[in-house]
Structure 1
Amino acid sequence: MDLTDVLSDLYLRAPTEFVTVRTARVQAARDDGDAELAKRIGRLSKPSTAAWLMNLLAARRTTDVDDIVELGALIRDAEKNMDAQDLRQLGKQRIALIRALARQGEALAAEAGQKVSAAAMLEVEQTLHAAMSDPAAADAARSGRLVRALSSNGIEPVDTDGAVAEPSVIIERASRPALRVVEDASSPRRLAEAEKKAEAAAAAAAAAKDEREGVREKHRALAGHRAELTRERQDLTARLSKLDEELSAIEREDDALRRAAASVDHRLDVAKRAADRAAERVASLRKK
């Protein structure tokens, strides 16, 4: 057993199985007398649900992930020559491809008996978008050892720090020719195709902008709803505090009335005994 084998197996395990399997691998390494390997395995981070789904896709839908990543590289190469309408259309197609691949991840999770939340699915889509936007993110997404989701704002490099387990360990992947923008001016057909791809690719940026605005709009709506619920909770808290004060006042009044009733009962008892004694005295005098 070596670390490469452990990584290839462990990060395809469902998050619910991860800790148990990691513990077993640590013990196996110790039994083999490899304390250093046991230590490195024990330090491996459990992946988020979205990262696990991405690892499944990287391992079992490798070609589809590679296609999306290479399409992203093609779009980046062609972005300088823009036709907004065509680029927007390509951007919509890119979004559809990302969502379709994310649903494949959801299906793989279902095969493993795992239900995936909408939030995790959104993180998978964001990770695929980041992989299309940034070469380092693409390498992380295709590593099969992702531990957290990735995100891109389309401008700055994607933060991949700590996103991949044991990044120093290289796991060979089958290579394939990279896609590229053809810019052979000697062929009018190729030039036309290149121009068309360049124009179409620019639409991805516009579509991504629309998508980002949509996400921001949802976030603003969520923030508004959160603020509304917070105000309602504050109102309820104030109302509850007032009710507590009223209940405390009622309890104090009830205690006072109980004490007053007890005092009245005592005086009544004393008065009854005095009346009984007086009646007995009168009866005694009459007999004389």
Structure 2
Amino acid sequence: MDFEEAADALYAAPAADFIATRNELAKQLKADGDQLGSTRLKAMRKPTVAAWVTNLIARKLPDELDDLLALGDEFREATADLDGDRLRELTPRRHQLLDKLAKEAAQVASDEGQKVSADVGQKLRETLDAALVDPAAGDAVREGRLSSALRHVGFGVVDEAGEPTNVTPLTDERRQAARDRRKAQQAEADEETAAARKKREAADRKEEEREAAEKAKAKKAFEDAVAAAQEAESTVEDLDTQLDNAREALAEAQELVRRLGGELDDARRAARDAQKESREARKRYNRL
């Protein structure tokens, strides 16, 4: 298994099993000699529910997803051509296709045991719309490895009716200020991402430690139960031996009682006969 296969398998797994699956696949890559692939896989983030459902669509509804992305190509062409009539024609199709795919996605997710709440449904729709709008987002959705839902700010610059609108050109100062703001925002986002990654890694470690502790506890309980069972079995064997010995001794005692009883009866008869013979001898003596 190479890294690409492992990544596909990871994001195809149930969300609840993500951490365990990631650890197992990373170990397998490392065992296969792919240390870099193992490290890359460990860095992959657990998908949110909306991202997991989107990844599910890429695998379960690939044709429907391709239809959505193809419609995005038509939108981009109409926008580039400033074709307002075409944009107005495509906009209802955009909403219809998004509604249809979101509904089918909810059903597919339900079949997999995942309920789609209103909030998740909204994020799912925003992600699909982003895939329609942006080719890079479309490629990411088609790949099926999202860890978070996506959003977009619109198709080019159009009004509510879909007509192209004029944009006030930026002066050099405003353009530079905009660039500075984007850099500052990106730096802030990078910092937040690093903090979130550290927090996620700490949570993952804590989860792994908890699982390890539970396994150790379960193993100890199992070993104690086995030891107790073995001890009980030994006790049963000892008692069985004692019982057999007691039964044998009882049988011997009963045989001795029977034999002594017979001898006692014989002795009593002999005593009576001797007494009788003694009395008769006394009588004969007295007659002399």
**Residue in 2 that maps onto 1:27:** 27
- Residues 87-125 of structure 1: CA distance to partner in whole angstroms, max 9, x if unpaired? 445422311211211122212211211112211111111
When residues 144 and 35 of structure 1 are mapped into structure 2, their CA distance, relative to the original with a 3 A threshold, is same
Cα deviation for residue 31 of structure 1 reads 3.6
**Residue in 2 that maps onto 1:277:** none
**Residue in 2 that maps onto 1:81:** 83
Q: Distance in 1 between matches of 2:155 and 2:89?
A: 21
Instruction: Name which structure has the greater RCO, CA cutoff 8 Å, separation 6+.
Output: 1
Aligned pairs (5 A) from 1:1-288: 1-79=1-79, 80-83=82-85, 87-88=87-88, 90-154=90-154, 205=162
Q: Which amino acid aligns with 1:81?
A: D
Q: Distance in 1 between matches of 2:33 and 2:84?
A: 60
Cα deviation for residue 38 of structure 1 reads 2.3
- Residues 67-93 of structure 1: CA distance to partner in whole angstroms, max 9, x if unpaired? 11111111221231223xx74454223
Q: Distance in 1 between matches of 2:161 and 2:102?
A: 18
When residues 33 and 77 of structure 1 are mapped into structure 2, their CA distance, relative to the original with a 3 A threshold, is closer
**Which structure 1 segments of 5+ residues have no match?**
158-201, 207-288
When residues 25 and 78 of structure 1 are mapped into structure 2, their CA distance, relative to the original with a 3 A threshold, is same
SS across alignment from 1:205 = coil
When residues 155 and 61 of structure 1 are mapped into structure 2, their CA distance, relative to the original with a 3 A threshold, is closer
* Equivalent pair of 2:75/2:90 in contact (CA under 8 Å): no
Q: Distance in 2 between matches of 1:132 and 1:145?
A: 17
Q: Distance in 2 between matches of 1:73 and 1:20?
A: 39
Q: Distance in 2 between matches of 1:24 and 1:127?
A: 29
Q: Distance in 1 between matches of 2:51 and 2:161?
A: 25
Q: Distance in 2 between matches of 1:10 and 1:48?
A: 14
Q: Distance in 1 between matches of 2:162 and 2:101?
A: 20
Name the TM-score, length of structure 2 as normaliser. Answer: 0.50
Cα deviation for residue 25 of structure 1 reads 1.1
Q: Which amino acid aligns with 1:142?
A: R
SS across alignment from 1:104 = helix
Identify, as 1 or 2, the structure richer in helix.
2
- Which entry has the higher C-alpha Rg, 1 or 2? 2
Name the TM-score, length of structure 1 as normaliser. Answer: 0.50
Q: Distance in 1 between matches of 2:106 and 2:44?
A: 24
Q: Distance in 1 between matches of 2:160 and 2:62?
A: 26
**Residue in 2 that maps onto 1:222:** none
When residues 48 and 101 of structure 1 are mapped into structure 2, their CA distance, relative to the original with a 3 A threshold, is same
- What RMSD in Å do the two structures reach over aligned CA positions? 2.6
Q: Distance in 2 between matches of 1:204 and 1:45?
A: 39
SS across alignment from 2:162 = helix
Q: Identity over aligned residues, as a percent? A: 36
Q: Distance in 2 between matches of 1:129 and 1:56?
A: 16
* Equivalent pair of 1:54/1:144 in contact (CA under 8 Å): yes
Q: Distance in 1 between matches of 2:23 and 2:39?
A: 11
Q: Which amino acid aligns with 2:137?
A: A
